[in-house]
A and B are shown apart, each in its own frame.
Chain A
Amino acid sequence: KNQVEQSPQSLIILEGKNCTLQCNYTVSPFSNLRWYKQDTGRGPVSLTIMTFSENTKSNGRYTATLDADTKQSSLHITASQLSDSASYICVVSQGGGNEKLTFGTGTRLTIIP
């Protein structure tokens, strides 16, 4: 069964600190992996997308990594800001013409001043 597991479930860090969120998946065949940010009461917004051949991709203070061999991805947030408080959702797309998306349950990140 295709699954996307994220850890930790929730995380609280001080403003200005760095943090790393994890995503493990069992989706096969793999097409791409995306990280979304979802603010409270809002819809998810895309942060990054990586295909099989990409190991790392950055979007400002967000850096995503992908290890397709171990089926793991991480999202690193540098110099956190209060506005980074949100849920971060890992989404894996199935390839082979299926294009089915499997969503993780998200990591709830809280930045405290």
Chain B
Amino acid sequence: IAGITQAPTSQILAAGRRMTLRCTQDMRHNAMYWYRQDLGLGLRLIHYSNTAGTTGKGEVPDGYSVSRANTDDFPLTLASAVPSQTSVYFCASSEDIRSDTQYFGPGTRLTVL
């Protein structure tokens, strides 16, 4: 059992380019989340999904979109990357939106030049 995986591990991207960060979990968790982690700031929620077919906006959703076509996958897309989106991105999942514990993926380090 892999748990929750993310791809790529790291990426350098030119500003203006489109980029999709992948996240897959095999725990059959209903809820999934995308966070960004920046130096000096706590993890900030970008988007979340309560269950397959539904998504919601977090604290910092602008410039990002998500989809949840099935239970396992929750990709995060940057339609036109900007340097301020340089960050480490973490995907997480939990049994449901009210679960006590979220399980985090290993992260994707994204640099936008």
Q: Which residue from chain A places its CB closest to the CB of B38 in the assembled complex?
A: A105
- Tell me whether A45 and B104 are in contact in the complex, defined as CB-CB below 8 angstroms, given that A99-B97, A99-B98 are known contacts: yes
Chain B 62-99 interface mask (CB, 8 Å, partner A; 1/0): 00000000000000000000000000001010000110
How many chain B residues have a CB neighbour from A under 8 Å?
A: 19
Chain B residues within an 8 Å CB radius of A49: 100-101
Q: Contact check, A104 vs B104: say whether CB atoms are below 8 A apart.
A: no
Describe B's contact surface by its main secondary structure: loop
A102 at the interface (CB under 8 A from B): yes
Q: Contact check, A43 vs B90: say whether CB atoms are below 8 A apart.
A: yes
- Tell me whether A43 and B42 are in contact in the complex, defined as CB-CB below 8 angstroms, given that A99-B97, A99-B98 are known contacts: no
Q: Which residue from chain A places its CB closest to the CB of B59 in the assembled complex?
A: A100
- In the complex the two chains form, what is the Cα distance from A105 to B39 in whole Å? 8
Q: Distance in Å from the Cβ of B42 to the closest Cβ of chain A?
A: 3
- Tell me whether A42 and B107 are in contact in the complex, defined as CB-CB below 8 angstroms, given that A32-B100, A99-B97 are known contacts: yes
Instruction: Identify 26 residue pairs between A and B in the complex whose beta-carbon atoms are under 8 Å apart, listed by A's number.
Output: A34-B100, A41-B106, A41-B107, A42-B106, A43-B4, A43-B90, A43-B92, A43-B106, A44-B43, A44-B90, A44-B104, A45-B104, A46-B102, A46-B103, A49-B100, A49-B101, A89-B43, A101-B45, A101-B102, A102-B42, A103-B42, A103-B43, A103-B44, A105-B41, A105-B42, A106-B42
Spell out A's residues near B (CB within 8 Å). Answer: 4, 32, 34, 41-46, 49, 89, 99, 101-106
